[in-house]
Structures are given as C-alpha cells and as structure tokens.
Amino acid sequence: MKDELFLYFASYTTSPDNKWFSAGANKKIEQTLSIFKENNKKTFLINFTPKENNKFVNEIQICNHLNPIIYRLEILISTLKIRKFIDFKKYKINLLIYNATFESLLFYFSLRIFGINPKLSIEVEDLPFARSRNLALLRSFFDNFALNLLYKKSKFCFFTSEIMRKNIKDFMNYKKEGFIYPPSISEKFLDLSKLRDEPFTSDKIKIIYAGGFHKEKGVFELINAFIKANLRNAFLYLYGPSSKDIRDIFKEHSSIKFSGMVSNEDLLEAYMSADMIVNPHLEIINNQYIFPCKNIEILASGALPLISIYSLAGLTFSDLPKKLIFKDQKELTDLIINGKNLWFKEKKKINKLSKYIREKYSHDTISKTFADAYEF
C-alpha cells in the first residue's frame, strides 16, 4: 500500500513589502503545517509566491516571475518542477488548498494534466466579492469560478467559521462535508495569559492595534479617534507594515508608536501588557464573506476589547458586552475615553469570555478537528 503524501498549496511570504503578504494567512499556514508535523504526515508546502525564500524544510517554490501572466503559466506547468523533488508513483497524493482562488485552480489543473489525480480538500478563508478592490480588478469573477469548481471536486472542506459554511450556500448548489477549522491559540499564548497583569493597574494606558494598513482595516480611524480622545498618559502602539509616508504624517504625535513587524512571540507579549486592544475594521462590500481572525486573540487576551461591528461576522458571542462594540470613529473615541471605567464595570464578563475563547480555540482542540477530518 502506498504511503500518503500531502501537498499544501498556499502563498506564504515573510516580507511585509510583498503584495501577497498577510500575517493572518501566515499564521494559519504555519498552524496547518504544524498539525501535519504533529501527526507525522509527510507534507510539502507548494508556495506560489514569486521570488520567495522562507527556509521551510519541505517547501517547493514554483514561481520566479512577478509578471501575473508569467507566474500563472509557471503554476500551470509547476508539476514538471515538483517532479524533481517528489516521485509521485510512490505516494497516494492528497492536495490541500489554502483558499480556493484562480491560482489554486491552475495548480489543480497542472496535476491533472500530468496524470496525477489527488484527493482534494480546501480551506475556505474568505469568499469572492467581499471587497470593492477585488471587484475593481475583476479578480473575484475568476476566483468565484475557481471556488465553484474546486469545491465540487473536493472530498471535504474546512471553514473558518459556521457563518462561512452557511455563506457558501450563496455560491454552491450542492452540499459538501465540512469542518470548522479556525485559527487556534498557541500554547505560548495560553501560558502568557495566566501571567498577565490586570488591565488599567498602571499609570500609563497602553492601546494596541495589530494588522495591515489598508484603508478597509480602519487603522486611520483608530489613530484619529485616539488623537481626539486626548487621554493623558495613553499610548497607541501600532504593529504592522506601515510605510514611511504614513509614519511621517503622525510623527509629531509622540504618544503614537509605530512598532512595525515583530515576531509572533513579541506580539503576544505586547497583547499581554495591553490595557485595550482594538479591531477597527471598516464596512466593505460584504463583511460576512471574510473572517476576522484577529478577534480570537483579542478576545482571549484578557485586555479590554474594542471591536468594530463590521469585524464581528462569524464571531458573535452573547457574553461580549455590547458597550464595547462600535460602528464609527465617534463611538470609538468615546470608548477610548471611557475605557478604564468600562473595564471595571465589565471585567467579569470579559474575563469569562476570554476563558471560553482560550478553551474553544486552543491548539489541541482545533488540531483534533483537523486530524479527525483526515482520519489521522
């Protein structure tokens, strides 16, 4: 009987300047690779990010050109390159696709063209037509076609949330076995959370945002809300790939700290010392077609969570005080001003919710779901 071999097709890059960069995607890809490793499954990451060098032990880079036409052609013939590293005749091939897109469809075609019929499964992280910038590029039409075909061909699917699984019905006319597979909370996170000090016990107030600086992320609304709040001894720490132009705009505000890209460990430690953590995501074409991964760590952190109503799709908890949810910059400003008082009024509910999130999204819990799907 042939041994199983897993091909994990994804775009992974550690360079913040790369247009493919996504901290959330990187975390999820690392999570999946770690689960394969924990279960002793031979796995290759098939990385289609052009000119990327990540140093994973079993990683095959299949694209060398930035030109979109050329790198898609490279994907289509990539099986020829992969054959240099893998003897397909020796293995029963499983293909897991991170987010079904047009590129992943090309890779599936590449395998089929060269006589390889993999057992297919896909991770659905977000859906086409979620963002206006995707519509402007007509990209979503190609991704929608790819998602439909790959979903139909797959044996089963992983969804980041229950609402994502329900939303897939808008795109598909047939049922498919599905498993809820969200981002997990690491053991390091759980260990640090046990040691953290209670928020608002210091003279200084530390507010944190971690993520991208695209307009839809709402980070500029957060900065302006912080400036208008004008809190004494408060500091706003912004973690993520900010440009020099952005930093220059706010350079006169010494209480705004652009911390740039840091390791996961450093970010976790920052979360554990935060008084408030904010997700200010704005409204897009369809917020229910994306999954707010960062909310899991925000709610589990033990800090005061301030969360945009537009970032709550797929994560609705009755224990989350509605007072901590905002819809615009003015409401966020008021929450920042009243953050300390809100904490002492709502901390029992917040701590109860944090404990629940840490248990529900622990790495052991999530990895078991993943392993059960594959019957490891």
Q: Assess contact for 244 and 213: CB atoms under 8 A.
A: no
- DSSP 8-state class, residue 176: -
Q: What pLDDT, on a 0 to 100 scale, did the predictor assign at position 313?
A: 64
Asked if 320 contacts 306 with a C-beta cutoff of 8 angstroms, the reply is: no
> What's at 122, amino acid-wise?
I
Residue at 91: amino acid letter: Y
Q: Both tokens of residue 340? A: 């300390």
Question: Concatenated DSSP letters for 227-267?
Answer: HHH--TTEEEEEES---HHHHHHTTT-TTEEEEE---HHHH
Output the CA torsion sign for 301, 305, 311, 313: positive
- Domain architecture of the chain: domains with CATH: 3-184+362-374 (3.40.50.2000), 187-360 (3.40.50.2000)
Query: Which run of H or of E encompasses 6?
Result: strand 3-10
Residue 137: the pLDDT is 57
Q: How far apart are CA 357 and CA 301, in angstroms?
A: 9
Q: Which two tokens stand for residue 219?
A: 């980070």
Contacts of residue 216, Cβ cutoff 8 Å, sequence gap at least 6: 131, 133, 281, 282, 284
CA-to-CA distance for 18 and 3, rounded, in angstroms?
36
C-alpha span between 252 and 29 (Å, rounded): 38
Strand ranges (E), 211-365? 234-239, 256-260, 276-279, 304-308, 325-326
Distance CA 128, CA 170 (A): 11
d(CA 315, CA 169): 19
CA 244 vs. chain centroid, Å, equals 25
> In this structure, are strands 177-180 and 205-210 parallel, antiparallel, or unpaired?
unpaired
- 247 token code pair: 């930093």
Average pLDDT along the chain, 376 residues, taken 10 residues at a time: 92 81 86 95 94 75 92 96 94 95 96 96 77 56 85 90 75 75 90 91 95 88 95 94 86 91 88 96 64 84 93 67 92 96 94 92 94 92
Distance CA 36, CA 34 (A): 5
> What pLDDT is attached to residue 291?
66
Confidence (pLDDT) at 324: 93
